[in-house]
């Protein structure tokens, strides 16, 4: 086996469902697309996306000796089981904080790579953190393509003999290294004529092929917007307390995907159709204790409380009688 194939095998043993390698070259195309997106103001008030734009598309800004970039994906999917009379937490946030889980696994993978290569290689790891655009790297590494809803869709891996695609409910992990590994062929794919995600989005946040206007996105409003949610958008949240999965759940590529085998990403019972009345009574101390190991805990209590109040109003407006 080549070093690269041994690394892939080690990644799969750690639970990663897709693996690919690309070179550490600067990506001018991705950089240009990002600048165009910013020029339209689609970042809303996420001003951190405006800082250091080149480093998002140049791995060598992060590791000057970089030769290769390893990109891995891990399935986090579980069935939505949405009850419209109760709150909805996005699937990604129902288990343990994915930053912790993937960083632990990436560290183990780096240790294994050093063992396999016999070299004192250098590594930089990223899990949806730091100024690095992970999805374009995943495309370059052959994992999949960017869908119309701007998420990475993995049709199936090159070594996967399963009939069905792997879909888009995946977390991405990136390792920048000074090891030279054979790059994979860039993935090619499109959504074709399908417009299900565009048609299903209640706020019309998908404004172009792979282009999201964050200010219209429920996920942005409930997890990133630190101000009040606009009156015109709040009723469209429905029962979405934290995040939104609508554009992914309607995607045909996700129609037959398997649930995650990773125990850390299994939905906690209290976050599956959570009771609104119990959440509205929660104070900040309980919030911090309850969500310390969860992605929700990374966000402000005031934002979470605001979201609950909006959702409670929406549910009361939609359903008469006492809530479940």
User: What positions carry a catalytic annotation?
Assistant: 128
Q: Are 142 and 187 in contact (CB under 8 A)?
A: yes
Among 184, 71, 182, 66, smallest CA distance to 126 is for: 71
Tokens 């370059």: give the residue: 140
Report the candidate in 247, 250, 195 with the shortest Cα–Cα distance to residue 220. 247
The secondary structure of 78-120 as a DSSP string is ------TTS-EE-GGGSSS-HHHHHHHHHHHHHHHHHHHH-S-
Strands 68-75 and 18-23, sheet pairing: antiparallel
The closest of 183, 179, 206 to 195, measured between CA atoms, is: 206
Cα separation, 81 vs 17, whole angstroms: 24
The torsion angles phi and psi of 107, rounded to 5 degrees, stand at -65, -45
H/E element, 287 = helix 284-290
183 Cβ contact partners less than 8 Å away, ≥ 6 residues apart: 21, 22, 23, 68, 140, 141
Pairing of strands 152-153, 145-146: antiparallel
């Amino acid at each position: 086996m080549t070093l690269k194939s041994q690394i892939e095998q080690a990644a799969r043993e750690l639970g990663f469902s897709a693996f690919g390698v690309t070179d550490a070259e600067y990506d001018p195309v991705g950089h240009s697309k990002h600048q165009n997106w910013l020029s339209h103001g689609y970042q809303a008030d996420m001003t951190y996306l405006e800082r250091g734009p080149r480093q998002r598309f140049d791995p060598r800004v992060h590791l000057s000796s970089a030769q290769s970039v390893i990109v891995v994906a891990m399935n986090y999917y579980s069935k939505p089981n949405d009850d419209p009379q109760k709150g909805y937490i996005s699937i990604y946030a129902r288990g343990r904080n994915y930053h912790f889980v993937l960083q632990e696994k990436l560290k183990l993978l780096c240790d294994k790579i050093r063992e396999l290569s016999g070299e004192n290689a250098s590594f930089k790891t990223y899990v949806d953190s730091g100024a690095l655009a992970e999805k374009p790297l995943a495309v370059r590494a052959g994992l999949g393509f960017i869908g119309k809803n701007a998420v990475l869709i993995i049709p199936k891996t090159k070594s996967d003999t399963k009939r069905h695609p792997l879909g888009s409910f995946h977390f991405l992990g990136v390792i920048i290294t000074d090891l030279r590994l054979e790059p994979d062929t860039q993935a090619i794919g499109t959504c074709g004529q399908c417009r299900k995600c565009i048609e299903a989005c209640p706020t019309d946040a998908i404004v172009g092929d792979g282009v999201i206007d964050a200010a219209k996105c429920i996920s942005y409003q409930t997890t990133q917007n630190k101000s009040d949610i606009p009156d015109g958008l709040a009723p469209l949240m429905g029962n979405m307390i934290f995040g939104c999965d609508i554009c992914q759940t309607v995607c045909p590529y996700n129609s037959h995907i398997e649930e995650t085998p990773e125990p850390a990403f299994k939905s906690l019972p209290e976050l599956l159709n959570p009771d609104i009345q119990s959440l509205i009574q929660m104070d900040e101390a309980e919030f911090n204790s309850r969500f310390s190991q969860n992605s929700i805990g990374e966000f402000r209590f005031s934002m979470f409380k605001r979201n609950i109040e909006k959702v409670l109003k929406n549910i009361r407006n939609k359903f008469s009688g006492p809530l479940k």
